[in-house]
Amino acid sequence: GTKTAIVDKALLDKILDKNRQSFNEGKVADYIPELGKANASSIALSVVNSDGTIVSIGDVQQRFTIQSISKIVSLMIAVLENGEQVVFNNMGYYGTDKPFNHFANLETSGKPLNPMMNAGAILTTSLIKGTGEEPFLKIRNMIRFITNNEKIDYSKSVYNSERETGNRNRGMFYLMRNNGLIDGEGEDKLNNYFKQCSIEITAEDLAKIGFFFANHCVRYDGNKQYNNPSLSQLVQSQMLIAGMYEFSGEYARTVGLPSKSGVGGGIAVSVPNKMGIGAYSPALDQHGNSVAAYRMILDLVREKSLSLFY
Q: Is 288 in the site for ligand GLN (CB under 6 A)?
A: yes
Among 64, 100, 136, 294, binds ligand GLN (CB under 6 A): 100
Write out the E strands in 114-156: none
Comparing C-alpha atoms, which of 81, 86, 243, 103 is closest to residue 173?
Answer: 103
Q: List the x/- string, 52-71, binding to ligand GLN by CB under 6 A.
A: ---------------xx---
Residue 222 to residue 135: CA distance in whole angstroms: 26
Is there a catalytic annotation at residue 198?
no
- Least Å from the CB of residue 6 to ligand GLN: 31
Residue 121 to residue 67: CA distance in whole angstroms: 11
Q: Is 101 in the site for ligand GLN (CB under 6 A)?
A: yes
Residue with Cβ nearer ligand GLN (67 or 281): 67
Q: Does residue 28 contact residue 309 with C-beta atoms inside 8 Å?
A: no
Q: What is the dihedral of CA 87, 128, 96, 90, to 10 degrees?
A: 30
Choose, from 193, 251, 280, 294, the residue flagged as catalytic. Answer: 193
Among 26, 59, 123, 162, binds ligand GLN (CB under 6 A): 162
Among 262, 272, 276, 282, binds ligand GLN (CB under 6 A): 262
Q: Does residue 210 contact residue 166 with C-beta atoms inside 8 Å?
A: no
Which residues from 105-124 bind ligand GLN, rule CB under 6 A? 118
Question: Residue 211 contacts by C-beta under 8 Å, 6 or more apart in sequence?
Answer: 48, 52, 219, 220, 270, 275, 276
Alpha-carbon distance values, 237 to 72, 127, 137, 205 (Å): 11, 20, 25, 21
Q: Is 118 annotated as a binding residue?
A: yes
Choose, from 245, 251, 280, 294, the residue flagged as catalytic. Answer: 245
Residue with Cβ nearer ligand GLN (57 or 75): 75
Choose, from 42, 46, 68, 232, the residue flagged as catalytic. Answer: 68
Q: Is 162 annotated as a binding residue?
A: yes
Write out the E strands in the chain: 27-28, 44-48, 54-58, 64-65, 200-201, 259-261, 266-270, 276-280, 283-284
Alpha-carbon distance values, 219 to 14, 98, 142, 287, 294 (Å): 28, 33, 11, 30, 24
Q: Is 218 annotated as a binding residue?
A: no
Q: Is 263 annotated as a binding residue?
A: yes
Residue with Cβ nearer ligand GLN (23 or 194): 194
- Least Å from the CB of residue 144 to ligand GLN: 20
Q: Is 44 in the site for ligand GLN (CB under 6 A)?
A: no
Q: Is 270 in the site for ligand GLN (CB under 6 A)?
A: no
Among 22, 74, 161, 169, binds ligand GLN (CB under 6 A): 169
- Size of residue set near ligand GLN by CB under 6 A: 11
Residue 5 to residue 205: CA distance in whole angstroms: 20
Pick left, alpha or beta for residue 47 (phi over 0 → left; psi -120 to 50 → alpha; otherwise beta).
beta
Is there a catalytic annotation at residue 27?
no
Residue with Cβ nearer ligand GLN (12 or 239): 239
Q: Is 193 annotated as a binding residue?
A: yes
Is there a catalytic annotation at residue 220?
no
Question: Which residues of the chain form contacts with ligand GLN (CB under 6 A)?
Answer: 67-68, 100-101, 118, 162, 169, 197, 262-263, 288
* Residues with catalytic roles: 68, 71, 193, 245, 263
Q: Which residues are annotated as a binding site for substrate?
A: 68, 118, 162, 169, 193, 245, 263
